[in-house]
Amino acid sequence: MPAAIAGGIAGTFVFGQGLWRSLAPAWPGGGRAFAVSAGFLMVATPAVALAAATWFVRLRRKGRRQAWLLTPVAGAFGLLCVLSLMAFLVSFGGRRRRPRPGCDTDDFRCWLSTTCPYAAAYALGGAAVAGLLMWGGMRFARRAAGD
């Protein structure tokens, strides 16, 4: 998982702005929904990838041959984690103040602040919702298990 985080941070500088420019306008709900999705997925996908890897190890210890089926699942969610981390980190690139009139749309910070103001707040909100859902799910699972 640390390699995925390092890859996401390094990839942010190379691919992050292109990811936002290509996906955010076409995303259902626009840039705001894209920022919320990036924040939500940044928290949720590492948990799913870790769960798949844990299940893989358990099945492997039991000698089940179907354990290899979980390897692509963990890899796919790891890749989704890296992409969502890139989109999450890039959402903090916008300006906090109103863009100046006639600012250059080739400048990513200007583009982000005009197309999706407060993208960072939306991304943080999505991350908070995912964290609360995971916390509630863990409490419910513990209560159902009788702990």
Q: Of 9, 39, 30, 37, whose CA–CA distance to 117 is shortest?
A: 30
pLDDT for position 17: 81
Rounded to whole angstroms, how far apart are CA atoms 81 and 93?
19
Rounded to whole angstroms, how far apart are CA atoms 72 and 80?
12
Q: Is 128 left (phi over 0), alpha (psi -120 to 50) or beta?
A: alpha
pLDDT digits (tens, 9 = 90+) for 40-66: 988 888 888 888 888 888 887 887 777
- Identify the DSSP state of 96: S
* Domains of the chain: total: 1
pLDDT digits (tens, 9 = 90+) for 64-122: 777 777 778 777 887 787 788 888 888 887 655 555 666 666 677 777 877 788 888 89
Q: Of 72, 12, 16, 67, whose CA–CA distance to 48 is shortest?
A: 72
φ/ψ (deg, to 5) at 106: -75, -25
Helix (H, G, I), strand (E, B) or coil at 47: helix
**What's the domain range around 52?**
2-145
Q: Of 38, 129, 130, 127, whose CA–CA distance to 90 is shortest?
A: 38
